[in-house]
Structure 1
């Protein structure tokens, strides 16, 4: 196999310095006052030999890798995949490659992924955190690594955070079920840090009406069939329940399967899901959902990170917390049938 040319080989063949070659490869020839003759010579030779610069070498010479590392909780979750898709489109237009990695909502895996991306010299991070990762995020902040935290955050860390109003959304979902005549409303959720505010909103509304809470908090690592079985057991063990607030759309899909299998009165239970889904509008009955503004969340994340990465500008992006409102999309599932 023929040995791949290094940047040093190409510079030697052109009889220019590695620095000069690097500037031209990165489109900074004119900015660095390199003569047009030399720029044309380098560009013509690069085209002739089909040279592809090594990205690690490029990052070492410029200090920039033109990559952004994004860490999601679970890439199978439609929320994360939709957010990543919008972010990638904007990042590519700005000249960046987006590297998406899933933590599977596990602390050790998130630590490993952050280390891997940091070792690859990504220019900035977009992180959906898990409990216990605070120290790692604090270290990134000390290293002045541009970073956006989304989905949930740690108030004690002075980071740039982008969220939705999870608590108000859950409060509104529960209130909507109450207004439609349901009184024994359950919350089926996950044992994740990101779900705390959704549980809180549900609990706060029921407390305001002096009603009991009925919470099933499932371990994240359960597979789909295990989720269905756990939900079925919970519902049959609490026979007075007449409605359910599901805190994620993945749980909603498992819950719908459980309710369908149980049949009878269970198929008539009121349902609201946190997070909308393409299927919810075509199911019968349609599923009422709390919708997050995916496009606005995604564009705000990447545009603020790009501002942090733009060293040529004078704008300093100060840490802040941006909270987007959510919207209740009403369909037939939240009405008595």
Structure 2
């Protein structure tokens, strides 16, 4: 795997505690207030709930530790993506996005940004560098791509985009900062849907952006404050709590995926499979060079749509649900959302169940097809 260090989880767990005064609560307080006591001038004080919140501040402090960069929290992954694009684009700009990435990013670009005078160009992840990046103001990548799990060369793309005078943005949702550090590879902005494995318990919509460029970060913070795209304190509190177990959950999920993927590849019901951790996967070598882990998502194709549905719905240790990254393993046919994949294509998100018990349930469901 890539020879990058990951953030210290011991430091993360004590990040707040080491700053406490005697008698303060160890658990993060939930501040649910839209107003602050503010006599006189408002200089250097919290002044309004749309602009600041102490619970956000603590969350962003923890996220910054994981990203090794300043972070801004948002109420969803798409809110974070929207902030990154609206803060870097204007009429006349040219945007490049993956044609096989998360479909809502494409919808946002084609339905709204293009109507505001932004030229939107799409390329598949497996040919993303073809044609270069001259003339593009913003280049948005997602790696591994969702749902196909193709991997793009972040270092190469970041260098080329910077040389062409553009801004690079990477959606790092599928790997989290513990699985990949795009900023270390030269990317300008990282976006993440923390609804997934960062929160981990499928109970809160959240997202964040991270950047080491102060001007870009300020523009995205201005977008949040002015647009009102702010997280709720309760959701921020839930994400902060989720981050404290991220390392344990992510390691188990990735370890289980590395055990289960080769077994799926050998099962007679599986016609094709994608998982960067498999040595035969076309993305394996690149993933190994830039990722800290191969992740917990496995995608494979069965014989038919009907068999894919039966596999998902009949397995007692799979939740048939959209999204991914929760402690419960889940799966879905991505074609139902319009992704350009086979009708029998299944995206499997490995959860925190004991790996052998999970595999036996998956195998039993496959055997019965």
Specify the TM-score bucket, using the shorter chain as the normaliser: 0.3 to 0.5
Of Structure 1 and Structure 2, which has the larger fraction of its residues in helix?
1
TM-score, normalising length: structure 2: 0.32
